Amino acid sequence: MSMASLHLEAPWVHASESSFANSGQFVLDMTEKSTPHLRECLAEFLGAVIVIGFGLAVNSQVAISEGKAGDVMTVSLAWGVAVLMGVYTAENVSGAHIISVITFTHAVYGRMPWWKVPGYLLAQTLGAFVAAALVYVLHYEKISAGDLETMHFLFVTYPHGVSNYTAFYTEVLLCAFLMSCAYAITDQRNRCPGPVGTPFALALLVMALAAAFSLNTGLGASVNRDLGPRLFAYLAGYKEAFSEFSYYFWIPIVGPFVGGVLGAGSYILLVEIQHPVLIPEQNTSSHSI
């Protein structure tokens, strides 16, 4: 290679480096100018994409393969690890709520201001919507070979041979267990596993819930987990997404909120406020010079 060619390449290289530096500075400037709440919402969005994406992918894989590529334990394990990854993604920015029942329950008990709730819920629902779209494309060839009803059931929850009353009770009980245990895990005065152990404890909790409570409703557990994918299914062509099963869609919206408030409230009433009041120890020892 001649020296002339080197000189011809140099301006392009320098321009590329300059462009890269300018792009990096632009990202830094945008980050500094964005509000803390916007950063929280962005983190919640990405966390929801990851958690719901993993979850819908494993649900679809097991359903499409008719159990040949997994079973209930596969689903439980995948959802648990999905929560672990989601917490790692968003915890230090937004607290990694990711599912709407946590956000709503925290607001009810004063653990976050109400004005943040709409942004969190919107980000979580959009994240779940995007996750459904990604999984739809992933399995499009197999989904298109079936029918719209099959596609719809891959993404949303519905009553599995039970009445809507039983389905509602299932969602309430499930989320009561979820939030009671979540508040126990994060209670600093009750053997809290700390910043390292907490994500793993939450993952194990979700695995247990998925293994124990998915029979009746398929583990709705949150507004965004069902509503985001249900909106996608509707826009993708399944027009009965909101009317089927006697307008079942409201159950995975209202049930988790009711259960979350009851479960967290039970823990606060029966355990958290019962902790002994800490009295600072007074130093009564005498010192001689």
Digit-coded pLDDT (tens) for 252-265: 999 999 999 999 99
- Alpha-carbon gap, residue 181 to 136, rounded angstroms: 33
Q: Return the higher-pLDDT residue of 232 and 68.
A: 232
Q: 266 pLDDT band (50/70/90 cuts)?
A: very high
- Domain presence at residue 25: no
- Domain presence at residue 169: yes
pLDDT for 65 equals: 83
Mean pLDDT across the chain, nearest whole number?
Answer: 84
DSSP conformation class of 162: S
- Alpha-carbon gap, residue 182 to 223, rounded angstroms: 17
Residue range 222-245: average pLDDT?
Answer: 89
- Domain presence at residue 91: yes
CATH classification of the domain holding 205: 1.20.1080.10
pLDDT for 18 equals: 52
By percentage, how much of the chain surpasses pLDDT 90? 56
pLDDT for 149 equals: 65
- Domain presence at residue 111: yes
- Domain presence at residue 23: no
Q: 16 pLDDT band (50/70/90 cuts)?
A: very low
- Domain presence at residue 8: no
pLDDT for 63 equals: 87
pLDDT for 19 equals: 52
148-153 contacts at long range (C-beta below 8 A, 24 or more positions apart): 148/236, 148/237, 148/238, 149/238, 151/233, 151/236, 151/238, 152/233, 152/238, 152/240, 152/241, 153/63
Residue range 28-55: average pLDDT?
Answer: 84
- The pTM (predicted TM-score) of the whole model is 0.82
The answer to whether residue 21 scores a pLDDT higher than 50 is yes
Q: How many domains in the chain?
A: 1
Cβ–Cβ contacts within 10 Å for residue 1, how many?
A: 6
Cβ–Cβ contacts within 10 Å for residue 286, how many?
A: 5
- Domain presence at residue 69: yes
Tens of pLDDT along 72-113? 899 999 999 999 999 999 988 988 899 999 999 999 999 999
Structural domain including 155 reads 36-273
The answer to whether residue 4 scores a pLDDT higher than 70 is no
- Domain presence at residue 17: no
Tens of pLDDT along 147-172? 666 677 788 898 989 999 999 999 99
8 A C-beta contact, residue 229 and residue 236: no
